[in-house]
Amino acid sequence: MSIVIRIDPPLGGPLAAQADAIIQALVRAADDPAVAVSVWPSHLADLAALVRDGDTRTIRLIVEPADERHDAAASAGGFSRVRELYQLRRPLPLEQALIDATPAINTRSFVPGADETAWVEVNNRAFAWHEDQAGWTVADLVAREAEPWFDPNGVLLFEHDGRLVGFCWTKVHTDSDPPLGEIYVIAVDPDFHGLGIGRSLAVAGLDHLAKAGITTGMLYVEANNEPALRLYRSLGFRVHHHQRHYIFVSEAGDRSPVPNQPAGPGPYGLDR
Ligand SMILES: CC(C)(COP(=O)(O)OP(=O)(O)OC[C@H]1O[C@@H](n2cnc3c(N)ncnc32)[C@H](O)[C@@H]1OP(=O)(O)O)[C@@H](O)C(=O)NCCC(=O)NCCS
């Protein structure tokens, strides 16, 4: 179980320490969903009450794996579910029949220092609607390239007539058990959608991971990204678990009570 809590903009001064204590209590309770259901509502309501008197602030709670018990606990704490992603997995290597049924395309590796502008352009055109992936800058990409896990050979580019058409960026997670080979970002320029390129790129990326010895393929996809979901299902991916995002939005000057605030176990729920 992992939970991430972001307060935006961050709290300062003593409130930050109080918020941190609540967040630590939430994190400690997160491993057991039954405990989460019983103590989260009061902790979340305490957190919401902390930010309620300040400038406009959003608290985002990201829970993985999440189920209906976390939905109930978040809702009772005054948080609304705003986003759901699936983590999909499938065994690797791909079956030969699946590879044979997919037209092969020639890809090349990403070249740092040369491919950033074209990559960002295709990414931003394909993900214009996406919460995290839209509006990337070259600087955002260069920052990822500086990460220790970045491997330019795992970023497969497909070009046509000298133009970047699509890419499949893979990422290996050696620290997970089993080691996971992720399709980290995949996109095809909208001018070329529906031509089978996304499927060929995904197969090329998964083949690259399998050749590196990875036996489990993984990716995250928005629960409402129907084109991508259809592609992944047809490649044999199945839902492994859900990641859910819940938010609380505090309007500046809004002193109304936090909705559904249950009786808490003590100041900021710190009895756990
Ligand atoms: C997802 C994406 C990479 C697919 O690329 P593509 O080249 O258009 O897809 P393909 O032509 O290879 O189609 C493969 C399968 O995807 C599904 N699919 C593709 N476009 C679809 C659409 N508009 N509606 C429903 N299903 C669609 C179909 O199952 C299709 O197989 P079929 O043609 O046999 O029915 C592309 O739509 C894209 O770049 N989307 C924006 C970025 C994104 O969402 N990336 C995935 C994030 S997890």
Atom of ligand 1 nearest to the CA of 225: 44
What domains does the chain contain, in order, with CATH numbers?
A: 2-84+244-269 (no CATH), 93-214 (3.40.630.30)
For residue 56, which phi and psi values (nearest 5 degrees)?
-55, 125
Q: 186 forms bridges with which residues in the sheet? A: 168
Count, in order, helices (H) and strands (E) of the chain: 8, 9
Residue nearest to atom 19 of ligand 1 (CA): 227
Tens of pLDDT, residue by residue, the chain (272 residues): 889 999 999 888 889 999 999 999 999 988 888 888 899 999 999 999 998 877 788 999 999 999 999 999 999 999 999 999 999 999 999 999 999 999 999 999 999 999 999 999 999 999 999 989 999 999 999 999 999 999 999 999 999 999 999 999 999 999 999 999 999 999 999 999 999 999 999 999 999 999 999 999 999 999 999 999 999 999 999 999 999 999 999 876 444 443 333 322 222 222 21
**Nearest C-alpha neighbor of 112 from the set 148, 80, 136, 144:** 144
User: Is the pTM of the predicted complex or chain greater than 0.85?
Assistant: yes
Q: How far is the CA of 230 from the centre of ligand 1 (A)?
A: 7
Torsion of CA 244, 5, 179, 142, to 10 degrees: 110
> Is ligand 1 within 6 A of the CB of residue 127?
yes
User: What pLDDT, on a 0 to 100 scale, did the predictor assign at position 260?
Assistant: 36
- Is residue 226 within 6 Å of ligand 1 at its C-beta? yes
